[in-house]
Amino acid sequence: MASLSPVHLGIIIGSGFLVLLVFRQLLIKKVIESADPDEQPRRMFFLEMFICICAAMLIIAYQSMILHFPLLSNLSLLIGCIIAGFFIGINSFLIKERAAIVNAMKIGQYSGRPIKYSPITLKFTLIAGTTFVFVCIVLVMVFSRDVEWLANTAADEESIASAQLSVIYEILFIMTVLMIMIFNLIIAYSRNLKLLFNNETGVLEKVRNGDLSSKVPVATQDEFGVIADHTNHMIDGLRHRFELVHSLKLAEEVQQNLLPTKSPYLRGYDVSGMSMYCDQTGGDYYDYFLLPDDRLGIVVADACGHGVGAAMLMTTVRAFLISAVETYSDPAHLLNQINQWISRDCASSGTFTTMFFMELDPAVRTLRWIRAGHEPALHYHRRTAQVTRLDGTGIVLGIDASYRFENQITERVDSGDIILIGTDGIFETRNSDNVIFGQPAVNRIIAEQCEQPASAIREALVAEVKKFRGDMAQEDDITLVVVKVQ
């Protein structure tokens, strides 16, 4: 093959490639474009390798059959075509991969973890290792051929110097061609990496600014594809959480609207209440009901647990209360009705509600109440400065529909007396030393604030609880209603 002129050799090689290039576009349509987008880059690489090897086979066949060259003399041609096919195939692979990335961005391919995970490091290792082997093969072939040539042409110093210069030019030319192909691959791969990186960082920048409308295209089967898939799952999770937070905020607003907006007016009594939830929504509830004969009903309830589930249960309890008050006669009758309804709804779930219901009658200045498993109310006697508990028997609502509550009645209350109805969140508040606030602290604050109106007593209690808790998180809902006899 060395006897051929460069022009003649170039025509032979070019003709071999042109014959197969005629069928290249048809093969691309049949083999490449019909495949899955994730599979197309890999098939493109093997197609280019196949074309180059087939071209080499055609050229070798022509030179052996027509020009009668020995097969061994065509070895360098075969190796050269394989090397060319490798670099052309890698370049086509990267071009097809970039087209797949752009197409994924266009059609919105945002789901599906890569099926065949192929790490970037593995690709780099294979390409670098194969390139190193090819360079070594080329250098060995060049040096072995040039050494033989030098041995045959080295007649004098001038011819040796000329032959050395020719060898240097040949090696430089070959290395330049290899370096150009390698740099072309590096540039092509860098463009793809930059596109993937910009897609990922662009979406993450939007997420950081609170925009969850975009996702990262899952276009490759390497680390970028896995990261894109995880990012999209993260965005879906954040969307769900934002929707949940929005729903909780709406539930909080709805529940707050169910609580009294102002204190009721009742001749001879000053009443003030509040609820403070540890979550957006809670299971504590208090309310006031106007009863027949100018009486006032005060209810404080606590559903088991806290959060959305407890809030839903408490909303149901409130609905039952509003319905039962329409036929109100006394506290026991009211809670017997409510207990039957709640037990019917909660029998299978095991949930329950505690409740303290108290009736204020300005005509007789006595108290009637029912304690359904709730914390006893506290009665501060202004005359003796003592605190007693409005206790009594009664189970929680929702576990036994047949249970019958009985009215509890206290003697006449005096002017200046204070009644506090609260949930266990007040007494069981803990500080950083794991010490509970307790009833003695509540008794002390009531005694200290006994000359103040009901709202001031309530605010003082809440302030002391917060001060006692310090930096500790609120663990339970806090609800209290303060009644002061005027």
Each residue's pLDDT tens digit in the chain (486 positions)? 445 555 655 676 677 677 677 778 888 888 887 877 778 888 888 888 888 888 888 877 777 777 666 666 677 778 888 888 888 888 888 888 888 888 877 777 666 555 567 777 888 888 888 888 888 887 777 777 666 666 666 555 666 676 667 767 777 877 887 888 888 888 888 888 888 888 888 888 888 888 888 888 887 778 888 888 888 888 888 888 887 767 666 666 666 667 788 889 999 999 999 988 776 556 788 999 999 988 999 999 888 766 666 777 788 888 888 889 999 999 999 999 999 988 887 766 668 888 999 999 988 888 899 999 998 999 999 999 999 999 888 899 888 889 999 999 887 788 999 999 998 888 888 888 888 998 999 999 999 999 999 999 999 999 999 898 888 877 778 889 999 998
Evaluate whether residue 74 is within a structural domain.
yes
Query: 355: domain range?
Result: 259-485
Into how many domains does the chain fold?
2
Q: Is position 187 within any domain?
A: yes
Q: Are 468 and 339 in a shared domain?
A: yes
Q: Do residue 228 and residue 271 come from a single domain?
A: no
Whether 198 and 267 map to the same domain: the answer is: no
Of 412, 404, 399, 484, the residue nearest 449 (C-alpha): 484
**Are both 269 and 216 inside the same structural domain?**
no
Residues 203 and 313 in one domain: no
Q: Does a structural domain hold residue 59?
A: yes
Q: Classify residue 104: in a domain, yes or no.
A: yes
Task: Let me know whether 472 and 385 are in one domain.
Answer: yes
User: Same domain, yes or no, for 181 and 316?
Assistant: no
